Amino acid sequence: MDSLAPVLDGFAVVAEPQNLLYCLVGVVVGMLIGVLPGLGPAATIAVLLPLTIGLEPVTAIIMLAGIFYGAQYGGTITSVLLRLPGEASSVVTVFDGYAMARQGRAGTALGIAAVGSFVGGTISIVALSFLAPVVASVALDFGPPEYTALAMLGILLVATVSGGGKVKALVAACVGLLLATVGRDGFTGAERFTFDSLSLADGLDFVPIAMGLFGLGEILHTLEQRHRGVQAPPKLKKVWPGREDLRASRGAIGRGSVVGFVLGLLPGGGAVLASMAAYALEKRRSKTPERFGKGAVEGVAGPETANNAAATSSFIPLLTLGIPANATMAVIFGALLIQGVTPGPRLVAEDPELFWGVVNSMYLGNVLLLVMSIPMVGIFVRVLRVRGTLLAPITVMVTLIGVYTVRNSVFDIGLVVAFGVLGYLMKKAGFEPGPLVLAFVLGSLLESNLRRSLLLFDGDPTGFFTRPISGVLLVAFLVVVLLPVLTAARRRLRPSDDRSGRPDVKEHV
């Protein structure tokens, strides 16, 4: 019973009025943001970071978590009704969701998405509740070599799995690592890349970078993209799935929960990869794959379940290891640091109220998502009619005022503008800002632990392989690096194989 006490205390934390209110606010804001194409959860959380400073840490993180998983469902609404994915994780929902809407089954598609999101999110929370303390207890044995290897693998996976191309993602990650070196050396005190500026002596602050790249940069890019008018959504004839649809979807929902939970744990995984993997799995398993893209209900159930499950499970590496798995988790990582909370293996034991308060709030958030999903569809669709030219100046003003209030620094406003322009240009050139922000967050962790490890090993880098966990992680790092090289070499050798008389080998997907 003693082991259950922190969990029950977490429910008491959630039941406090301000936490209930901010959980509701987070879910509603997340759904609204999911409806608006372009401005995703990472950008919204980045813009709202200054507003969370006055809140209790657990209240702030409950609201930000609500925005994250609320946005996963919000993106579904426009994907189904308007063929306009509000969130990247809802792109595959367009294929069958919009086809169902054209067949007069929009309500069924939205209902299945709501049920799948609820089931996937709930299963993922239960698994998180059991698995996170175990991971945290194992991670207590981590030392500098293990954290060095984990940070290297995390940055590499995020860079290689995220969109925009691997080379561009690696370039963005390298820029993030370079930015993390700005300021005084933590070991020698020497100034690096400060250009004799006192404002840079303490290094670049995370808030203006995140708000510039995700907030201002996304606004500029969205304004450029959003000149198209919004078509009228079809009427919802039936707002809840029937027994036949639920029976046809139950397998997809079960598999989507597992796929989403597992991929959410991996650095670089997250909701986007989970939804695509779940869609591919359902299509491959189906006896009638030709139905997909023409209104197959499994094509909505699987991805929508998976993206919510992944959004929840991605909190495990953040809260237990201190390693954000994706760009949105990197921004929430920054929010925790602003609140004076260092995520990692000691968080579960040293701050159980925050840990279990955030985890248990997700149960409530999922119920709110299910309850509000269908009745509020009309309101969310009307939001799309708000002109971008009206919304953008307000958001920019909130961003600039917000960043100034953090440290009362005009220099930070200049940084937001500079990184906003950089974020816009990155989007234009096909670079994703996520790897840059994640590498910046993990840069100081990587550098400090790498240098401590080398001191521990007397400068011998092979020492990393003498410890089991760091050795396994570095072998995984080398596999991720070498696998594309070996695959490319194999493809180049394939024509010579053909000339040798061997039969063609076709790849079956």
Q: For 478-494, what is each residue's pLDDT tens digit?
A: 888 888 778 878 777 76
Cα–Cα distance for residue pair 31/114, rounded to 1 Å = 12
pLDDT value at residue 421: 92
Which amino acid, 213? Answer: L
Q: What mean pLDDT, rounded, does the chain reach?
A: 81
Band of the pLDDT at 499, cuts 50, 70, 90? very low
For the purposes of burial, counting CB atoms within 10 Å of the CB of 429, is it exposed (0-12), middle (13-18) or buried (19 or more)? exposed
Instruction: Render pLDDT for 330-370 as a digit per residue (tens, 0 to 9).
Output: 888 888 888 888 888 888 888 888 889 998 998 898 888 88
pLDDT for position 21: 93
Q: Which of 6-15, 65-74, 499-508 has the highest mean pLDDT?
A: 6-15
Q: What is the pLDDT of residue 330?
A: 82
Mean pLDDT of 245-250: 87
How far is Cα 203 from Cα 136, in angstroms, rounded to an integer?
30
DSSP structure string for 48-106: HGGGGTTS-HHHHHHHHHHHHHHHHHHHHHHHHHHS--SSGGGTTHHHHHHHHHHTT-H
Q: Is the pLDDT of residue 503 over 60?
A: no
- Answer whether 249's CB lies under 8 Å from 112's CB: yes
Rounded distance between C-alpha atoms, residue 29 and residue 47, angstroms: 12
Once rounded to an integer, what is the mean pLDDT over residues 83-109? 78
Model confidence at 418: pLDDT above 50 = yes
Of 294 and 37, more confident: 294
User: What's the CA angle centered on 266, arms 41 and 222, to 5 degrees?
Assistant: 25
Is the pLDDT at 502 greater than 70? The verdict is no
Which residues touch 474 (CB under 8 Å, ≥6 apart)?
149, 152, 153, 464, 465
What pLDDT is recorded for position 505? 38
| Number of alpha carbons in the 13 Å side-chain half-sphere of residue 501 | 0
Q: Which residue from 292, 247, 380, 305 is spatially nearest to 99, judged by alpha carbons?
A: 292
How confident is the model at residue 405, as a pLDDT? Answer: 74
Contact 317, 323 (CB under 8 A): yes
Residue 382, SS3? helix
Please determine, for residue 140, whether its predicted confidence score (pLDDT) is greater than 70: yes
For the ranges 31-35, 63-67, 148-152, 344-348, the lowest mean pLDDT is seen at 31-35
Residue 231: predicted pLDDT: 57
pLDDT per residue as tens digits for the range 425-463: 998 888 888 788 888 888 888 898 899 999 999 888 888
Residue 163 CB coordination number (10 Å): 12
- 106 pLDDT higher than 60: yes
Q: Percent of the chain having pLDDT more than 90?
A: 10
Q: Give the mean model confidence (pLDDT) for residues 214-234.
A: 68
The band of 147, judged by pLDDT with boundaries at 50, 70 and 90, is: confident
Considering only CA atoms, give the Rg of the chain. Answer: 23
How far is C-alpha 27 from the geometric centre of its chain's CA atoms? 16
> By the 8 A CB rule, do 155 and 446 touch?
yes
Residue 507 has pLDDT above 70, yes or no: no
pLDDT for the residue 229: 52
Checking if the pLDDT of 388 tops 50, the result is yes
d(C-alpha 200, C-alpha 122), whole Å: 44
pLDDT mean over 299-320: 87
Q: Which residues contact 229 (CB under 8 A, 6 or more apart)?
A: none
Distances (CA, A) of 70 to 76, 329, 428, 494: 11, 14, 28, 47
CA distance 216 to 416: 7
Q: What is the 3-state secondary structure (H, E, C) of 16-38?
A: CHHHHHHHHHHHHHHHHHHHCCC
Q: What is the mean pLDDT of residues 102-120?
A: 85
Query: Cα-flanking dihedrals φ and ψ of residue 183, to 5°?
Result: 115, -170
Comparing 26 with 154, the larger pLDDT belongs to 26
Q: Quote the pLDDT of residue 504.
A: 43
In 148-258 the beta strands, taken as DSSP E runs, fall at 183-184, 191-192
Distance CA 307, CA 92 (A): 11
* SS3 track for 420-473: HHHHHHHHHHCCCHHHHHHHHHHHHHHHHHHHHHHHHCCCCHHHHHHCHHHHHH
**Nearest partner of 143 among 444, 456, 475, judged by Cα:** 456
Angle at 481 between CA 480 and CA 483, to 5 degrees: 65
| CA distance linking residue 264 with residue 120, whole number of Å | 12
Largest Cα–Cα distance in the chain? Answer: 74
Query: Does position 254 have pLDDT exceeding 60, yes or no?
Result: yes
Average pLDDT over residues 132-148: 84
pLDDT over 80 at 126, yes or no: yes
